[in-house]
Amino acid sequence: MTSSDRAIEERVHAALNEPMTRAQIAALDERLERGRSVRVPFLQRRTLRLSLSLVAAVVVAVPLAVLAGIVPGSDEVPPPADLEVGVAGLFAEERCVSPEEAEQHIEALVADLGYVEWKVEHGTGAATSECIGAGLDNETRTVTLFMALAPQAREGIDAVREQLYRECHTRDEAVALVDAALRDAGMEGYKIENGSLSVPSDRADEIERHVENGCWVYSTTGWTADGTRLFWVAGN
């Protein structure tokens, strides 16, 4: 993986609150503390379609500045607005977009808009993933494709997340609920592990108290360096 791949994957993981290593989590938390504001990224939801497209379904809206690597107060600039909107349009409907479709669409869009310096690259596992999303990095002039959850898996995980927020379950029970939702969606080859707590910012106090009371919740998702899908549960 190139340094460019690692940089943009870190930004997408930051935007999705998807923990990687403990050191990366601490560094990204520090960045987020410096500035949660300004613009909101594209979520694969009907209410927030006209900004930058991201991987998978997002738990909480975080600044587009974080994804683009822009910390408020810095002199970095976001990607061209027409390119952002054009890429977002590909993911505007809640459906599975294949790597081939995304690459062809984005390459044609880049050519039509005249951004000849921009290129399309595949992040970890994206070339063989059933569904993908995309992130734009203005610094490297790169649109990077990333693994994304299929709509059915995303809906299943969303339902389990809310159930675990409402009800108090042990770790084994939480893992079983997550596993059942993924299997029902036809997923294979994933891992479910213990991870750091990642929750919607507007519900943080509520969910942290829930966890302090001994309840386990679904946290977030990501992937390993070899492309294995990871799903994290968190609790005490």
Q: How many Cα atoms within 13 Å fall on the side-chain side of residue 10? A: 20
Residue whose token pair is 């990366």: 24
The whole-number pLDDT of residue 4 equals 47
Q: How far apart are CA 149 and CA 152, in angstroms?
A: 8
Average pLDDT over the chain, rounded to an integer: 76
pLDDT in tens, 121-147: 999 889 989 999 999 999 999 999 999
Instruction: Please say whether the beta carbons of 231 and 18 come within 8 A.
Output: no
- With 0.75 as the threshold, say if the pTM is over it: no
Structure tokens, 13:
């993981």
pLDDT in tens, 73-114: 445 678 999 999 999 999 888 789 999 999 999 999 999 999
Rg (CA), the chain: 17
Instruction: Please say whether the beta carbons of 162 and 202 come within 8 A.
Output: no
